[in-house]
Amino acid sequence: MQRNPARFLFVLFVFPLFAPRAMAQDFQAAPGAFVPAQVPYSTEGFQAQIDELVRIAKLHDDASWSAALNAFSLPNPAAWIEANFASANVAKLTEDYPKVRDGHLAHLSSVLGHNVDTPGFSIKVEPSRTPAPPSDTATDSSLPLPVHPVAVQNFRLTPVADSGTMPPSWVSSFVYVDDRFRIVGGTYSFWAEELQRMLQPTRVRFGGTVQSARLIHKVAPKYPKEARKKHVEGVVRLHAIIGKDGSVHDIEMVSGDPLLIDAAIKAVRQWRYATTTLNGMPVEVSTTIDVIFKLNQ
């Protein structure tokens, strides 16, 4: 895996926080405590780091869990920020880092806390797009950018299990420090025309039941002939992004009968939602949508 140099701004990605087991603190291993293993700088290395976290979570040992989760934090955030950013930005970024870190690790903690005992539970990882460095424009010059390129790696994390509905996947950003991947955030945008997106959260995550109340135009799916012939019924669960204009895009299948999936996606593409705002500004929404197929309705 190549190290992709990228300048970035810490931006807090909004996640629902459901009783995380432990919030991250600057980690120092106690004598005799579990010590997380080193991993190589590769997708396989990050997968091993996540697998280790899942294994520890299954033990339900609070001390080991805290050590494993905290190992995703920069071991010395102030020193790392001071080494990579101009002195004028160090104090603010050092103050903001725990908020960014804790938001992401709380979400990870929540996912494991609610699902780790589900049979076959694991979290699969894959590389996600790493943004290109920003242009040298006057607009970019106002942002707290690193003084030299920093290798940032984005990973998509997808919970899976033998059965049952899992939370949707998400993307977080990491740097590789002291033989481990360390969280630095999850929503980065490095183009001048997207400056507004860099200054505040632009995508929030809600469950399908929350968003259903904001649905303003719904198209019923066309029942597939083959599914009707075979008397196939059920629910198709989709993950999608609701745009700032209320349109639905980036639709992905989460679960459902294969005979029903295409019809569900075609219908949901035509749905429209009321614009969601955060602090008065339009935002995208990451959500799950259930499409119900029932014969004789």
What is the rounded CA–CA span in Å between residue 291 and residue 61?
Answer: 39
Spell out the domains of the chain, with CATH numbers in brackets. Answer: 5-201 (no CATH), 206-293 (3.30.2420.10)
Other CB atoms closer than 10 Å to residue 63's CB: what's the count?
Answer: 13
Residue 144: pLDDT band with limits 50, 70, 90:
low
Q: Are 283 and 203 contacting, i.e. CB atoms less than 8 angstroms apart? A: yes
Taking alpha carbons only, the member of 206, 193, 227 closest to residue 289 is: 206
CA neighbours closer than 13 Å in the CB half-sphere of residue 36: 33
CA distances from 164 to 66, 121, 160 (A): 27, 10, 9
Other CB atoms closer than 10 Å to residue 129's CB: what's the count?
Answer: 9
| pLDDT top residue among 163 and 57 | 57
Residue 209 has pLDDT above 60, yes or no: no
Does pTM top 0.85 for this prediction?
no
| pLDDT top residue among 208 and 146 | 146
